[in-house]
């Protein structure tokens, strides 16, 4: 029991650090920066208490120069309704449309991210059915970007809920595949939506893997 509680505390500390590091990236004043740094220090302290590793050693593990760089993971929820229309959201960042989703979050499984992002961005409750594809972004016709990215497409089933309003989403809706809105090509390509439709309708098909 104590071991499980310690593991849970470390996961929470990792989540606290991840949120704080994101806060540092987007902070615009000294107060916000100091609070984020303090939370990182608390994360180090909690992890040290549970693991018996010195706080300085824990902090050093996260210094970028010593960190092994790995791809970022983009998780997209693939949601179709009974009319074979795909669920898309219009993001404020570029005014274009994509499947619900985003970067994977520390402390959440890929399934949990797909469920959480769909709920937050649309108000729709879903359950996860299966993984459809794992794509290396460089292998597809996305525009060039600053990060090396793996994209996970997870098929979800609608359970209920209704469209909501959220700060970073301008609109949302279901669209037939032959009448898609302007897509955010950095996030999703029309041929990827078509492939997800094919894989969704063929449960025996293997997971698409680059």
Scanning the chain, the segments in alpha helix (DSSP H) are 2-26, 30-51, 55-61, 110-122, 190-200
- Provide the whole-model pTM: 0.78
Same domain for 181 and 135: yes
CATH for 81: 3.90.79.10
Is pLDDT above 50 for 33?
A: yes
Residues 38 and 90 in one domain: no
Counted domains in the chain? 2
pLDDT tens for each residue of 156-168: 999 999 999 998 8
- What is the Cα–Cα distance from 17 to 4, expressed in whole angstroms? 20
* Domain boundary, last residue among 66, 85, 116: 66
**Residue 44: CB partners within 8 Å, gap ≥ 6?**
13, 17, 55, 58, 59
3-state SS class at 145: coil
Q: Which domain covers residue 133, as residue numbers?
A: 72-209
Q: What is the pLDDT of residue 113?
A: 97
Domain boundary among 37, 66, 95: 66
Half-sphere exposure of 209 (CA within 13 A, CB side): 4
161 pairs with which residues across the strands? 124
Separation of alpha carbons 147 and 129, rounded Å: 29
pLDDT digits (tens, 9 = 90+) for 99-153: 999 999 988 999 999 999 999 999 999 999 999 999 999 899 998 777 889 999 9
Per-residue confidence (pLDDT) for residue 133, from 0 to 100: 98
- Which of 39, 66, 93 is the endpoint of a domain? 66
Mark whether 189 and 140 lie in a shared domain.
yes
Distance of CA 68 to the CA centre of its chain: 21
80, 132: one domain: yes
The SS3 of residue 152 is strand
Rounded to 5°, the CA angle 86-114-11 comes to 175
Which of 17-26, 74-83, 90-99 is the least confident region?
17-26
């Amino acid at each position: 029991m104590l071991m499980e509680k310690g593991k849970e505390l470390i996961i929470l500390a990792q989540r606290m650090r991840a949120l704080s590091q994101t806060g540092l990236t987007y902070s615009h004043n000294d107060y916000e920066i100091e609070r984020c740094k303090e939370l990182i220090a608390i994360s180090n302290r909690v992890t040290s208490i549970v693991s018996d590793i010195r706080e300085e050693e824990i902090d050093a593990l996260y210094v970028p120069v010593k960190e092994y760089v790995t791809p970022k993971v983009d998780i997209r929820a693939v949601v179709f309704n009974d009319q074979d229309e795909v669920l898309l959201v219009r993001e404020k960042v570029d005014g274009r449309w994509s499947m619900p989703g985003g970067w994977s979050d520390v402390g959440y499984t890929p399934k949990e991210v797909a469920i959480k992002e769909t709920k937050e961005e649309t108000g729709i409750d879903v359950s996860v059915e299966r993984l459809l594809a794992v794509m290396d972004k460089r292998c597809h016709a996305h525009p060039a970007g600053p990060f090396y990215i793996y994209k996970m497409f997870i098929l979800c089933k609608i359970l209920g809920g209704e469209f909501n309003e959220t700060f970073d989403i301008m609109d949302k809706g279901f669209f037939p595949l032959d009448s898609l809105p302007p897509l955010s090509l950095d996030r999703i390509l029309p041929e990827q939506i078509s492939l997800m439709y094919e894989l969704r309708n063929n449960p025996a098909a293997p997971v698409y893997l680059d």
